[in-house]
Structure 1
């Protein structure tokens, strides 16, 4: 299975660039990326501007987060996640990192939604420097529950390079975003969940991730990695960190860049670039890592796609474990796909079918809403078994301390083969991050750009593009005429029979 993250720097402009323009549908573009889960950042669109062909490609479910703000008439920020339904259908999906944002967006999609429909695991009393709405309202985060894995698709704020008047405000927003994200990662790990964090993080994990680290250090008057966002990311993926930098895992010690500030011309892969696009995984997923890298030669944006390949099957303690079972607990490959969560684009009211010429998106017909995945799965949640579960490892006991990645990998990997993942709610403490005070958090996981930038070409897969049927109206008209003529001849025959009988 392949996971891809890609900052497209305006979805509509990206679709016009180079090879992407040759592909007539979104499904074809996704096939070109060869991803089974594709996460996009900087979509720069509003919901009303997204056509059905883009939001609902055949065989895919998509989840979107929009930013209502505009600059010079154009939308900014925004993100989307596309998931192949024959690979995995998320159990739950939500927008944002905080409970307030997740619940409000879910209620817009399904007015009957409650906290029970949320993924959970929020840091209720995290002391932030600013207002979380400053980043929660900008379409930056989509969270998916994929079996025993929580995926965070992120587009982190950018504080700017020059020392402008708003730099301090933007830096505060960025650090608040990272603190909120880290809190959710820690709570998920304490509950035994595996975690994938990916997207444009607008930070560097090491000096090897920037072509001008020395110049930036001189400009900032401090060591390059002492900058708070970089220090946070380096600590997150360090030797004893919470997560593994999967791309660096396959390319240790090499210069790697994913952003060049140039959409079209040939990129100098070893110079003039920065790596700000990451796919990070929890140590328990390390045995599943197969390959990872940057698709440098895919032009169309100032960023390049970053990918991670996972094994379809691994052996743990002599037991064969399939990735399908990890992602789809209780679902067989031969079973029909369950309906996606309420946040999926297929449930958007603008795509609601018409009944007797009237849209079902409003009025009386609004009652005929499609059922949501979370609702359809409640009855089977208690009996569903999986090859993965919440292992109560040392991370919950240590609270805020970061455990050794090697030990975590061993204990969690063993639990992948032996445990089941059924619905439960557990009380744990909300760990402290960066010395900030946090109170205990009783709610746990339910286990059932600013145009922001910090300064391998693949083969196109086959797809089934939508075909516009020409002449459909003409065929319909001919059929109508045929029916009319047939009716007329029948009536004429009845009249003749009646006249004969009279005679």
Structure 2
């Protein structure tokens, strides 16, 4: 049996990547089957209940559970899929406080824990805003009998806002209180998901640099790495002696370096494995005999994270020498209904929309139907809207430029444009329709007009505006690129040399070279909204890595490692001007247009 966790960074963007784009939209179950796990936990669904497609909400072979933010749509959100044939969920709750309740509320027998085991009743959590901490769709608690699984998406550690730092600290306290309450109930626990914190120096690509920087300030050993509250909390949670959970994946690979699960895609950090390990599967010590192996799957793309999984033994031998089979303790293959908060019980999935009873069926087409001539095709009718169980977000197209669509054949559009042009030029007009709107039969047999219309050729003049600060070489390059013949009346001495010179002059400019490595730079485009959006620029083509030059403001000079990307940057427009100026000057010399004696 396999249990898998993955921050997918958006359930609607995942199918855009290979191999997920090989599955049809209606076949989300194919994506789940490809992951080859019995319990699948997703974080950052970035959806809402109203926007969730039915194929994603209730795949046929899985029981599914979701938690979405109450106020902010397209943000956070977690999901648990349990394969009905191998893992049956006995109970399930949204959130970790026990305060998020369906209608009607869960009964005592439907709840996962006793009332005193929830964080609201735990010491140290009295002053926390429990409802606010459970309102962002960050956790699901599912009871599988053998263990209670908590799928969690902890708040990000990438902000300095005081209120979010406090929110994250309070969420950690609430989460730990929930785990401790379950352990006091003698339950085994699996805590998994995106914890947004590193558990060890080895889990961070720049861990050693962080430690060295702290040691320069007098902080001993690796204590500087734990100055952040989130890292210290996670370290204490899995400590060998005092911890309550076990980092089971690291237990199987204690010394493996580069076992990262998250990368910054904006700087292409995944190419050089410059990342962090912030996705975990933590288990209570009593489950260790069941754990067979665990690892990460960095080869699976589609998100800035990669999946993490553990596998369980099919059976173990208990302290009495008896075989205990996993299928028996997980209720595999049972036919009873899942917990009431399962998505299959949502009203939008179990009820048929009233509009479906009024959809007109298509009328039968007579066999002797007459097909209209191709000269006057009727406009294609829009497809009959089919009822949907959940609304699909509308795309805003008012400000977008028109794009050719397969639903509008280009040939027809061209014909209409030609007819309009013929009317302006005095050509034959299109056949007129009669009063009833139907084209007359005689119009199809009219002789084509033989009138010829002579149109005046329009001459266009290209205007180039030069800045006053453009140098002479750049002006010369622009001038030469528009002239049909060289200014000199004397024939060139070497035709091959002339051809090469012109080829270099008119060829697209070569990319500039970075200043540190003297290697061709890589072209990039600004995608962030702002005044520079769409502009191209060049940066060093080397990948990022520990100590790469992120700029003087972000990297101290003695920490820079030149084997990685340097801080070279140049706008493409500036690079083009410089290259054209150099090319124009050298080509002019070869063609004999520049007097080197003057």
Matching residue of 1:136? 134
Please state whether the residue corresponding to 1:88 is helix, strand or coil: coil
Alignment partner, residue 496 of structure 2: none
- Per-residue deviation at 1:226? 3.2
Match for 1:153 among 151, 154, 163?
151
- Higher alpha-carbon deviation: 122-131 or 212-221: 212-221
Given that 1:135 and 1:157 are in contact with CA atoms closer than 8 Å, whether structure 2 keeps it comes out as: no
Could you tell me how far 1:336 is from its partner in structure 2? 4.4
Q: In 2, distance between residues paired with 1:60 and 1:322? A: 21
Q: CA RMSD in A?
A: 2.5
2:110 to 92, 112, 117: 117
Post-superposition Cα deviations, 1:377-417, rounded to whole Å, max 9, x if no partner, equal xxxxxxxxxxxxxxxxxxxxxxxxxxxxxxxxxxxxxxxxx
Match of 1:305 in 2: 307
In the alignment, which residue of structure 1 is the partner of 2:63? Answer: 61
Q: Is the 8 A contact 1:263 1:301 kept in 2?
A: no
Distance change >3 Å, CA 355–CA 17, structure 1 → 2: closer
The answer on 1:176 being equivalent to 2:158 is: no
Identify the residue that residue 329 of structure 2 maps to in structure 1: 326
Q: For 1:192, what is the secondary structure of its paired residue?
A: coil
3-state SS in 1 of match to 2:276: coil
**Counterpart position of 1:413:** none
Name the SS for the 1:176 alignment partner: helix
Instruction: For residue 265 of structure 1, report the CA deviation from its aligned partner.
Output: 6.1
Out of 2-11 and 24-33, give the one that drifted further.
Answer: 24-33
1:264 CA displacement: 11
Q: For 1:266 and 1:173, how far apart are their aligned partners in 2? A: 29
Q: Distance in 1 between matches of 2:353 and 2:176?
A: 46
Question: 1:177 and 1:260, CA in 2 relative to 1: closer, same or farther beyond 3 A?
Answer: same
Of 185, 210, 220, the residue aligned with 1:191 is 185
* Alignment counterpart, residue 203 of structure 1, candidates 197, 205, 209: 197
Q: Find the aligned partners of 2:269 and 2:155 in 1 and give their Cα distance.
A: 27
Q: Distance in 1 between matches of 2:266 and 2:277?
A: 15
Q: When the two structures are aligned, how many residues end up with a matched partner?
A: 341
Matched, 1:234 2:222: no
Offset from partner CA, 1:4-39 (integer Å, 9 cap, x none)? 000011110112122111122111101111110000
Give, in angstroms, the shift of residue 77 of structure 1.
Answer: 0.5
Give distance in 2, aligned partners of 1:54 and 1:356: 23
TM-score normalised over the length of structure 2: 0.54
Instruction: Give, in whole Å, the separation in 2 of the partners of 1:155 and 1:23.
Output: 27
Which residue matches 2:42?
Answer: 40
- How far did 1:253 drift? 1.7
In structure 2, do the counterparts of structure 1 residues 356 and 30 end up closer, same or farther at CA, with 3 Å as the change threshold? Answer: closer
Query: Which SS does the other structure have where 2:13 is aligned?
Result: helix
- Are the counterparts in 2 of residues 91 and 340 from structure 1 also a CA contact under 8 Å? yes
Q: Matched residues in 2 for 1:13 and 1:131: separation?
A: 33
Give the equivalent residue in structure 2 for 1:78. Answer: 77
Alignment of 1:215-254 (within 5 A): 215-216=209-210, 218=213, 223-240=224-241, 241-254=243-256
How far apart are the structure 1 equivalents of 2:97 and 2:278? 24
**1:396-415 equivalent positions in 2, closer than 5 A:** none
Q: Deviation of residue 327 (structure 1)?
A: 1.9
CA distance in 2, matches of 1:146, 1:176: 27
Name the structure 1 match of 2:51: 49
Q: Give the number of the structure with larger relative contact order, counting CA–CA contacts within 8 Å between residues 6 or more apart.
A: 1
238-247 vs 34-43, which deviates more?
A: 238-247
The 1:76/1:179 distance shift into structure 2, 3 A limit, reads same
Task: Provide the rounded CA distance (Å) in 2 between the counterparts of 1:117 and 1:264.
Answer: 47
Cα distance change of structure 1 residues 353 and 99 upon mapping to structure 2, 3 Å threshold: closer
346-355 or 234-243: bigger deviation: 346-355
Structure 1 residues 266, 201: CA separation in 2 closer, same or farther (over 3 Å shift)? closer
Shift of 1:114: 2.8
Given the superposition, is the C-alpha separation of residues 12 and 268 from structure 1 closer, same or farther in structure 2, using an over 3 Å criterion? Answer: same
Please say if 1:15 is aligned against 2:15: yes
The CA deviation string for residues 435-491 of structure 1, in whole angstroms up to 9 with x for no partner, is xxxxxxxxxxxxxxxxxxxx9xxxxxxxxxxxxxxxxxxxxxxxxxxxxxxxxxxxx
After TM superposition, the score normalised by the length of structure 1 is: 0.64
CA separation of 1:150 and 1:289: change in aligned 2, threshold 3 A: same
Choose 229-238 or 212-221, whichever is displaced more: 212-221
- Within-5 A mapping of 1:98-497: 98-101=97-100, 104=101, 106-107=102-103, 111=104, 113-120=106-113, 121-123=117-119, 124-128=121-125, 130-160=128-158, 164=160, 166=161, 168-216=162-210, 218=213, 223-240=224-241, 241-255=243-257, 256-262=259-265, 267-268=270-271, 271-317=273-319, 318-328=321-331, 336-354=334-352
SS of 2:31 mapped into structure 1: helix
SS in 2 for 1:61: strand
Q: Contact 2:298 / 2:306 at 8 angstroms: preserved in 1?
A: yes
Note if contact 2:9-2:304 (Cα within 8 Å) is conserved in structure 1.
Answer: yes
Distance (Å, rounded) in 1 between the aligned partners of 2:354 and 2:55: 24
Q: Is the 8 A contact 1:89 1:337 kept in 2?
A: no
Deviations 1:266-322 (A, max 9, x none): 8346x4110000001111111111111110110110000001101111112321111
User: Shift in Å at residue 160 of structure 1?
Assistant: 1.6
Aligned pair in 2 of structure 1 residues 258, 202: CA closer, same or farther (>3 Å)? Answer: same
Structure 2: state its 5+ residue gaps. Answer: 358-545, 547-598
Task: Supply the distance in 2 between the matched residues of 1:336 and 1:68 (Cα, whole angstroms).
Answer: 33
Task: Name which one, 1 or 2, has greater alpha-carbon Rg.
Answer: 2
Deviations 1:180-199 (A, max 9, x none): 11112112112211100000
Alpha-carbon shift at residue 178 of structure 1 (Å): 1.4
Q: Secondary structure at the match of 2:339?
A: coil
Question: 3-state SS of the aligned residue for 1:12?
Answer: coil
Aligned partners of 1:136 and 1:357: how far apart in 2? Answer: 36
